[in-house]
Amino acid sequence: MKFYKETEFQETEIGEIPKEWEVVKINKLFNLYKGTTPSTKIKEYWNGTIPFVTPTDITKLNDLNEMYLKTTENYITEKGLKSKGLKLVPKDSLLFTSRATIGYLAINKTEVAINQGIISLIPKDANIDVNFFYYFLQKLKSLFENLAGGSTYREISMSTFSNAIVPLPSLPEQKRIADIFSTIDRAIKNVNNAIVRLENLKKALMNELLTGRIRVKEEDGKLIFHRETEFQETEIGGIPKEWKIVKLKEILTLRNGKRPTLSEDGWVPVYGANGIMGCTTDFLIDNDYTIVIGRVGASGEVHLAQGKIWVSDNALYSEKVNSSKVFMPFLYYLLKDKKLSRFAHKTTHPIITQSFLNNLPIQLPSLAEQQIIADILLTIDGAIELYYKEKDVLGRLKKGLMDVLLTGKVRMRED
């Protein structure tokens, strides 16, 4: 497969496209059909064997970067289907959300019934590749959102949608273009799966390592894990016998942040309750590690900062840390695991107090074990961050290719 730059264009209602492409209305390519919903008050209409698609089914797929619809949340019976004169949409049709959440797409891999928030696009002939139009209509999502009307909820009318004009390359070119985007989507899906697996691993390890149920030490350059069997009962539950309980104020001092002056020219990150909120030109503290805890609003949220930072007045930050007792990245994960937001005062603006945090009892293993635990979790977080960067690159690659391949500015041919 080779890419080349197109040089011969024709002017059309949708702008310049390659000379040999056609422009057609959607209703010339697809039979369009919009469904409805059987009465939810009649039990025999529901819990049958016919998949019943709602916009929620499709938006969930889009969140997973998945184009094929194989299952649905709801199923209806033959009676439910007939009660509203619903038609079954044949498999390998295109499903488009047209109400409230507009412009999300899926391709059904089995016959389905659809509700009134979906328009189905059933190809009229074999020269239409639904995968190509899945991606092309993705590109038009913002356009369809702008064309939608309604006050209670936004909806694009069947008339407006059916008369939308789209380009039509040859079938082989449709397939080549769709294959490119399918490859990128598979890569994004693989990255998403890797992130989920690492997040689950991190959660499982935090549950075991931070409670001491599983212990870890280093011997001859290897990490040795074993299950703990000897515990002591404490005010926060059972912990290993040699671990200690201390109050937070015994290992560090907490200070209130100060209102920042944000600057577009700033280089010092400003942390608020929700994390980094901008930059400034001055710093409030400069430590190897600083823990920032949301005080108001996102109260109890915990962040780990490094080097020069400023902390906003809706957060607290650590200083005067007793580094002989605590390794700050370990404390960061420990506080995250405690879900401090549940201790916030339930007011109009939930708040967690410095007094409460100062007297918070926490469990501490030896400094060496703290460092090993933190290194494990930091390594997993580092891998997760790399995957997120890869996902961002793939997303930008897909968007860039959509801008040129779906308009014909760049073409593909077989080697």
Q: Are 60 and 68 in contact (CB under 8 A)?
A: no
Are 36 and 64 in contact, with CB atoms under 8 Å apart?
A: no
**Within a domain: 9:** no
Answer yes or no: is 394 within a domain: yes
Six token digits for residue 267 = 């280089």
In this predicted structure, the answer to whether residue 368 has a pLDDT above a threshold of 90 is yes
Instruction: Count CB neighbours of 299 within 10 A.
Output: 23
68 SS3 class: strand
Q: 320, exposed or middle or buried, with CB in 10 Å at 0-12, 13-18, 19+? A: exposed
- Confidence tier at 347 by pLDDT (50, 70, 90): low
Nearest to 95 by CA among 103, 107, 86: 107
The answer to whether residues 204 and 77 belong to one domain is no
Site of tokens 């059904």 = 108
Strand-pairing partners, residue 413, are 2
Please indicate, yes or no, whether residues 195 and 279 belong to a single structural domain of this protein. no
For residue 343, the tally of other CB atoms under 10 A from its CB is: 15
Tally of domains within the chain? 3
pTM (predicted TM-score): 0.88
pLDDT digits (tens, 9 = 90+) for 194-240: 999 999 999 999 999 999 999 999 999 899 999 999 999 999 999 99
For residues 11 and 116, what is the distance between their CA atoms, to the nearest angstrom?
A: 36
The answer to whether residues 81 and 179 belong to one domain is no
Extended strands (E) in 29-181: 30-34, 46-53, 68-69, 74-76, 94-99, 101-108, 113-114, 118-123, 165-168
Each residue of 26-65: pLDDT tens digit?
999 999 999 999 999 999 999 999 999 999 999 999 888 8
Note down the domain range covering 98.
22-168
For residue 311, being part of any structural domain is answered with yes
Pair 390, 191: CB distance under 8 Å:
yes
Helices 130-139 and 367-405, packing angle to 10 deg: 100
26 and 140, same domain (yes or no):
yes
Residue 10 forms part of a structural domain: no
Q: Is residue 312 assigned to a domain?
A: yes
**pLDDT tens-place string over residues 81-123:** 999 999 999 999 999 999 989 999 999 999 999 999 999 999 9
CATH code at position 122: 3.90.220.20
